[in-house]
Amino acid sequence: GHHVSSQHVRIRRRELQCRFDIEKFTPAFLSIYESLVPVDEEIVKQKQLLLSLRKLVNKEWPNAQLHLYGSCANSFGVSKSDVDICLAIDDTNMSKSEILLKLADLLQADKLENVQALTHARVPIVKMMDPVTGIACDICINNLLAVVNTKLLRDYAQIDERLRQLAFIVKHWAKSRGVNETYKGTLSSYAYVLMCIHFLQQRTPAILPCLQELEATCVVTIDGTTCAYFDQVDRLRNFGVQNNESVARLLWGFFQYWAYYHDYANDVISVRTGRLISKQMKDWTRRIGNDRHLICIEDPFETSHDLGRVVDKYSIRILREEFERAADILQYDPNPSVTLFEPY
């Protein structure tokens, strides 16, 4: 049967409201966005570091490749982010741990600082700091799916600048409010960016297309997973022009959605399809091991992978209270571009 909860009643009440003066906060949110975007000098330093690491690594492994991934390459990185690098290597004689330990030796010998091999982490990495540029860096091995999902995010960002504006502000909010910490059961930056992409795919008229539903112009298979999507995004630059919503209105809508509209019991957000899909369809209705599926965000390529799986019954409450707080601030607060980011 269909279940009408008190939450639905609340949804109806909110639906009637729309803050008529929301647009006037766009300049303030845009200036926060501008202050978070890294300056060119920083990007240059990251490239320098990558080049010097390539030299070092190729001396030992001539066929190995280094790829930037994560926020330094997906265009959603704020100033002074750590740099994430993936070492793609095809050495059948060495285990992943052996490669990491060898890499750590090479880095140490090359005078990089705080070199640490974390061979037992969920994603094993070598951490280090480059004293020349001051950049902190994590290097993982053969995590090529992350390199491809990095490219997908970067390609989406090129279609409409409102995606970067929205996602930078959402990430800044999440960091300020302590809800961007997967080890504490809240969501990763990657998950928040997917939530923003999905939200913009869902606007009417849509601000973003669904790249995986269009003709595939980029196809790679990694560990048996085929990643295919339309990546000629310069042909989609005008996609969202029918929709003239500003970043303040989109932020308001984003938090309204996660506070009062999203059906946590039944729905999965899916950037892959550009739609909501049902938990039932994915068989995400039961708890299996540690996967509780209390907020469901489908990975665009590893489709069995729920990015909300880190969320538990305690942290879901915190998360939803934060969504409600943010929605209410955007609805009623006289100074939302300040109050939204107040430390918790």
The residue ranges that bind ligand ATP (CB under 6 A) are 69-71, 74, 76-77, 81-82, 84, 146, 149-150, 188-190, 299, 305, 307
Query: Any contact of residue 46 with Mg ion (CB under 5 A)?
Result: no
Concatenated DSSP letters for 266-314?
TEEEETTTTEEEEHHHHT-SS-BTTB--SSEEE-SSSTT-BGGGG--TT
Q: How far is the CB of 221 from ligand ATP (least distance, A)?
A: 17
Q: Which does 77 bind (CB under 5 to 8 A by kind): ligand ATP, Mg ion, none?
A: ligand ATP
Q: Which does 246 bind (CB under 5 to 8 A by kind): ligand ATP, Mg ion, none?
A: none
Do 141 and 99 form a contact (C-beta atoms < 8 A)?
yes
- Binding part of the chain for Mg ion, among 62-70, 145-153, 236-244, 331-339 by CB under 5 A, reads 62-70
Q: How far is the CB of 167 from Mg ion (least distance, A)?
A: 14
Q: Is 40 exposed, middle or buried (0-12, 13-18, 19+ CB in 10 A)?
A: exposed
Region 83-142 residues binding Mg ion, contact defined as CB under 5 A: 84
Phi, psi of 237 (to 5 degrees): -55, -30
Q: How far is the CB of 306 from ligand ATP (least distance, A)?
A: 9
Query: Any contact of residue 143 with Mg ion (CB under 5 A)?
Result: no
Q: Which does 185 bind (CB under 5 to 8 A by kind): ligand ATP, Mg ion, none?
A: none
**324 vs 76, 173, 290, 340, CA distance in Å?**
24, 13, 26, 11
Q: How far is the CB of 246 from ligand ATP (least distance, A)?
A: 24
Query: Any contact of residue 71 with Mg ion (CB under 5 A)?
Result: yes
> Considering only CA atoms, which of 151, 129, 149 is closest in space to residue 138?
129
What's the N-to-C CA distance of the chain in angstroms?
Answer: 40
Q: Which does 299 bind (CB under 5 to 8 A by kind): ligand ATP, Mg ion, none?
A: ligand ATP
Q: How far is the CB of 79 from ligand ATP (least distance, A)?
A: 10
Q: Which residues contact 69 (CB under 8 A, 6 or more apart)?
A: 84, 85, 86, 143, 146, 147, 150
Q: Which does 160 bind (CB under 5 to 8 A by kind): Mg ion, ligand ATP, none?
A: none
Cα separation, 283 vs 244, whole angstroms: 37
Query: Any contact of residue 70 with Mg ion (CB under 5 A)?
Result: yes
The helix/strand/coil state of 197 is helix
- Binding part of the chain for Mg ion, among 19-27, 46-54, 71-79, 250-258 by CB under 5 A, reads 71-79
Q: How far is the CB of 295 from ligand ATP (least distance, A)?
A: 13
Nearer to Mg ion by Cβ, of 61 and 173: the residue is 173
**168 vs 10, 75, 135, 198, 250, CA distance in Å?**
29, 10, 21, 15, 13
Strands (E), the chain: 65-69, 83-88, 113-118, 125-130, 135-141, 218-222, 225-229, 267-270, 275-278, 296-298
CB nearest Mg ion: which residue?
Answer: 70
- Binding part of the chain for Mg ion, among 67-75, 152-160, 167-175, 317-325 by CB under 5 A, reads 67-75
Q: How far is the CB of 81 from Mg ion (least distance, A)?
A: 6
Residues in touch with Mg ion (CB under 5 A): 70-71, 84
